[in-house]
């Protein structure tokens, strides 16, 4: 007779083994490793919640302390490789296989471990892609998650950084997996229930609050004239040109500069209400002046940002908040929103090749993807029109029946021609390809493929790739804005001028912008302190950003 409840029985056995270390559902921080050694089995798929921001760090330390003789060869399936412990488990042998999305802070170490063969890498995913696989072929046996507080029944309050938690719990709990949550405190009654208690098997009161990195805070004091020039060009040449209302911004200084120019330069251009009204975005502090100036209708967030909680609570017309008043973020939904409901993604990258492929991988760092490839792709499943989308579609349409035309999402790369240390942004060949060759990856880790990119903006100009009709035009359009990099100096000047005459390339002066006007006095806020003032004192920046 076929047994249909093996997984359920295995889950019950794990639960039973774990109860030895729990009081009801509650486990002391000091017993985490005992608990994990009791409930885990060699070879398990484990999701250790490492989000973009919120980190289940107490559980990560517990896992790293497990005896590799008992717990080994785990298959880690988690979006973020952020903490040192996330990689320590591969050094001890507790874990062996890895499928993940983003590894910014650990990018250099993960590269070394990949080269050294300590990690058996499945793939580097985009967020949505990894989330999707949680429900198909990477379903966790055990999920280790993080929240702000829980009651003794396990009802969980994630706080403003809900992020990946609902997705991870959904996939694990409803498919016979075990969910262990760490919380900063156990309370009588949680402010709101983000995850119902019956989906949480154990609750650990952590020894200290979970770690959150202020990833989305860009100090206006560090913005350069070049970034301001690029931002001015983007606003006038793309936002205004296409009437972009629904959008997502990357996390670089260029897009932060755009946020700070909306209430000043954007206002002067008469664009208020015409552009940048609806956002899929983390609560960037640099968006505060635009919000306070009435530019922003609403913002849905992937996660929160350190210091923004009080401000968000006081702006429920703009942000998604719970009955308790605090932000409700959700990475899976916000990624979906960015993919399907936004007309533009605009962000930075480290390298762009002659076709327009881009990557943030260098040979010594594997930063992973995060969400940019979802945001920065043209979804073929989209079926609703918008002026922006249709205009871009018309520019790209070259053959066929216009009645069958569909729109295009704007995918804009905002880069300076040279990066830190005079490293050129434009290259013949992406480092990602060399990395793929050396590590035996089947797919080169390309952030955004050339066929998704519609515009590249540098301090030298805007290249509209939608208007390029062949590969040669495309290459010259890219060379034509690549400044004094080797790629830029290798341009065919006549062809570039011809592209400029057609509006494929637009220089600052073609847009009526003088580089000499790109001045820091245009920024609505020139310091973190200015942002605090704009927020009426509601924004509480972390100590490292303070100058007072």
Partner 1 sequence: MESLTFRHTTQKALPGTKREAIIGVVASGNLEVLLERVLAPDACEIAIETAINGYGDVWEAVVADFVARAQPGGLRISVNDGGARPDTVSLRLLQGVRLMED
Partner 2 sequence: MAVTSASADPTRLSWYEASARQRVAAFLDADTFQEFVGPAERAMSPHLPLFELPRAFDDGIVVGRGRLDGRPVLVAAQEGRFMGGAFGEVHGAKLVGLLRAAGAVTPAAVLILFDTGGVRLQEANAGETAIAEAMRAIAEVRAAGIPVIGLIGGRAGAYGGGGLIAGTCARLAVSEGGRISVSGPEVIETNKGAEEFDSRDRALVWRTMGGKHRRLTGGADAYVADTVAAFRQAALALIDRAPAFDLATLEAEQARLEARLARFGACRDGAEIWVRLGVNDPDAVPAMTDAAFAETVAGVPEASHDAR
Applying CB under 8 A, the residues found at the interface with partner 2 are 221, 263-264, 268, 517, 519-522, 524-527, 529-530, 532-534, 537, 543-548
Work out whether 493 is an interface residue with partner 1 (CB under 8 A).
no
What is the phi/psi pair of residue 54, to 5°?
A: -70, 135
Select from 489, 493, 544, 546 the one that contacts partner 1 (CB under 8 A): 489
Binding mask 404-443 for partner 1 (x = CB under 8 A): ------------xxx---x---------------------
Query: In 10 A of CB 420, how many CB atoms?
Result: 7
Q: How many Cβ atoms from other residues are within 10 Å of residue 164's Cβ?
A: 32
Residue closer to partner 1 by CB (options 489, 544) is: 489
Give the three-class secondary structure for 457.
Answer: strand
Pick the binder of partner 1 from 92, 118, 176, 224 (CB under 8 A): 224
The one of partner 1, partner 2, none whose footprint includes residue 378, by CB under 5 to 8 A per kind, is none
CA pair distance 526, 221, nearest whole angstrom? 5
Of partner 1, partner 2, none, which one does residue 176 interact with (CB within 5 to 8 Å by kind)?
none
Q: Which stretch binds partner 1 (CB under 8 A): 153-161, 223-231, 323-331, 361-369?
A: 223-231
As a 3-state breakdown, the chain gives helix, strand, coil percent values, each rounded to 5, of 40, 20, 45
Q: Which does 399 bind (CB under 5 to 8 A by kind): partner 2, partner 1, none?
A: none
Count the Cβ atoms, other than its own, within 10 Å of residue 242.
Answer: 23
Looking at the Cβ atoms of 184 and 349, the one nearer to partner 1 is 349
Q: Which residues pair with 74 in a beta bridge?
A: 95
d(CA 249, CA 279): 8
End-to-end CA distance of the chain: 73
- Interface with partner 1 (CB under 8 A), residue from 515, 529, 533, 540: 515
CA atoms 493, 497, 502, 504: torsion sign: positive
Strand partners, 26: 23, 203
- For residue 490, state whether it binds partner 1 (rule: CB under 8 A): no
Residues forming a β-bridge with 204 = 27, 182
Strand partners, 99: 77
| Residue 489 interaction partner, one of partner 2, partner 1, none, beta carbon < 5-8 Å per kind | partner 1
Looking at the Cβ atoms of 489 and 546, the one nearer to partner 2 is 546
Buried b (16+ CB within 10 A) or exposed e, 301-322: bbbbbbbbbbbbbebeebbbbb
Whether residue 237 contacts residue 506, with contact meaning beta carbons closer than 8 Å, is answered with yes
Site for partner 1 in 447-466 (CB under 8 A): 459-460
Our CB check for partner 2 shows the closer of 220 and 237 to be 220
346 by DSSP, 3-state: which?
strand
Q: For residue 281, give both structure tokens.
A: 């975005």
Choose among partner 2, partner 1, none what residue 393 binds, the Cβ cut-off being 5 to 8 Å by kind. Answer: none
By beta-carbon proximity to partner 1, the closer residue of 85 and 460 is: 460
Of 61 and 491, the one with the shorter C-beta distance to partner 1 is: 491
Tell the smallest beta-carbon distance from residue 224 to partner 2 (Å). Answer: 12
362: which 2 tokens? 């260098």
Least separation in angstroms between CB 351 and partner 1: 16
Choose the contact partner of 311 out of partner 2, partner 1, none; CB within 5 to 8 A by kind. Answer: none
If binding is defined by CB under 8 A, does position 360 make contact with partner 1?
no
Does 226 sit near partner 1 (CB under 8 A)? yes
Closer Cβ to partner 2, 133 or 526, answer by number:
526
Q: How many residues bind partner 1 (CB under 8 A)?
A: 16
The DSSP line for 126-157 is BHHHHHHHHTTT---SEEEEEEEEE-TT--EE
Residue with smaller CB distance to partner 2, 73 or 225? 225
In order, the DSSP letters of 11-30 are HHHHHHHHHTTEETTEEEGG
Query: Of 472 and 519, which CB lies nearer to partner 2 in the complex structure?
Result: 519
Q: Distance between CA 142 and CA 180 in Å, rounded?
A: 8
By beta-carbon proximity to partner 2, the closer residue of 288 and 505 is: 288
- Shortest CB 245 distance to partner 2, Å: 24
Q: Locate 420 and state its tokens.
A: 């830190």
From the list partner 1, partner 2, none, pick the one residue 548 interacts with, judged by a Cβ distance below 5 to 8 Å according to partner type: partner 2
What is the DSSP annotation of 240-256?
HHHT--EEEE-SSHHHH
- Under the binding rule (CB under 8 A), the answer on residue 494 touching partner 1 is no
Give the residue, chosen from 53, 483, 499, 539, that forms a contact with partner 1 under the rule CB under 8 A: 483
Q: Which does 483 bind (CB under 5 to 8 A by kind): partner 1, partner 2, none?
A: partner 1
Closest CA to 231 of 419, 534, 459: 459
Q: Which residues of the chain form contacts with partner 1 (CB under 8 A)?
A: 224-226, 229, 416-418, 422, 459-460, 483-484, 489, 515-516, 518
């Amino acid at each position: 007779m076929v047994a249909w409840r093996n997984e359920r029985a295995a889950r019950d056995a794990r639960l039973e083994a774990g109860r030895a270390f729990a009081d009801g559902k509650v486990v002391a921080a000091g017993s985490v490793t005992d608990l994990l050694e009791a409930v885990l089995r060699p070879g398990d798929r484990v999701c250790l919640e490492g989000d973009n921001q919120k980190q289940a760090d107490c559980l990560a330390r517990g896992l790293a302390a497990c005896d590799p003789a008992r717990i080994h060869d785990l298959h880690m399936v988690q979006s973020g490789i952020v903490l040192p412990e996330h990689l320590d488990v591969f050094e001890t042998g507790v874990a062996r296989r890895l499928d993940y999305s983003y590894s910014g802070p650990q990018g250099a170490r993960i590269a070394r471990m990949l080269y050294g063969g300590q990690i058996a890498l499945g793939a580097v995913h985009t967020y949505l892609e990894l989330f999707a696989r949680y429900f198909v072929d990477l379903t966790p046996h055990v999920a280790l998650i993080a929240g702000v507080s829980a009651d003794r029944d396990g009802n969980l309050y994630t706080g403003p950084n809900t992020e990946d938690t609902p997705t991870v719990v959904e996939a694990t709990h409803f498919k016979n997996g075990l969910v262990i949550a760490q919380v900063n405190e156990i309370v009588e009654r949680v402010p709101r229930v983000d995850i119902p208690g019956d989906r949480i098997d154990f609750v650990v009161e952590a020894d200290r609050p979970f770690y959150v990195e202020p990833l989305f805070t860009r100090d206006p004091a560090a913005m350069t004239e070049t970034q301001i020039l690029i931002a001015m060009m983007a606003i006038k040449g793309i936002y205004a040109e296409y009437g972009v209302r629904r959008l997502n911004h990357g996390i670089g200084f260029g897009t932060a500069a755009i946020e700070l120019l909306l209430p000043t330069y954007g206002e002067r251009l008469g664009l208020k209400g015409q552009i940048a009204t609806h956002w899929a975005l983390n609560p960037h502090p640099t968006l505060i002046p635009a919000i306070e100036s009435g530019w922003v209708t609403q913002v849905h967030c992937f996660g929160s940002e350190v210091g923004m909680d009080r401000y968000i609570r006081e702006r429920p017309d703009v942000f998604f908040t719970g009955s308790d008043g605090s932000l409700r973020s959700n990475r899976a939904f916000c990624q979906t929103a960015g993919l399907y409901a936004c007309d533009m993604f605009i962000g930075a990258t480290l390298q762009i090749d002659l076709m327009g492929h881009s990557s943030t991988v260098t040979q010594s760092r594997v930063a992973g993807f995060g969400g940019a490839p979802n945001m920065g792709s043209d979804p073929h499943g989209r079926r609703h029109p918008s002026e922006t989308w249709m205009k871009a579609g018309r520019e790209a349409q070259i053959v066929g029946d216009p009645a069958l035309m569909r729109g295009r999402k704007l995918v804009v790369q905002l880069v300076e021609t040279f990066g830190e240390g005079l490293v050129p942004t434009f290259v013949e060949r992406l480092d990602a390809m060399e990395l793929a060759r050396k590590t035996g990856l089947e797919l080169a880790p390309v952030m955004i493929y050339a066929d998704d990119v519609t515009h590249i903006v540098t301090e030298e100009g805007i290249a509209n790739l939608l208007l390029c009709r062949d590969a040669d035009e495309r290459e010259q359009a890219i060379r034509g804005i690549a400044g004094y990099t080797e790629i830029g100096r290798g341009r065919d000047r006549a062809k570039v001028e011809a592209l400029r005459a057609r509006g494929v390339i637009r220089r600052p002066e073609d847009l009526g912008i003088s580089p000499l006007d790109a001045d820091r006095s245009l920024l609505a806020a020139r310091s973190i302190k200015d942002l605090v003032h704009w927020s009426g004192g509601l924004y509480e920046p972390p100590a490292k950003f303070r100058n007072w």
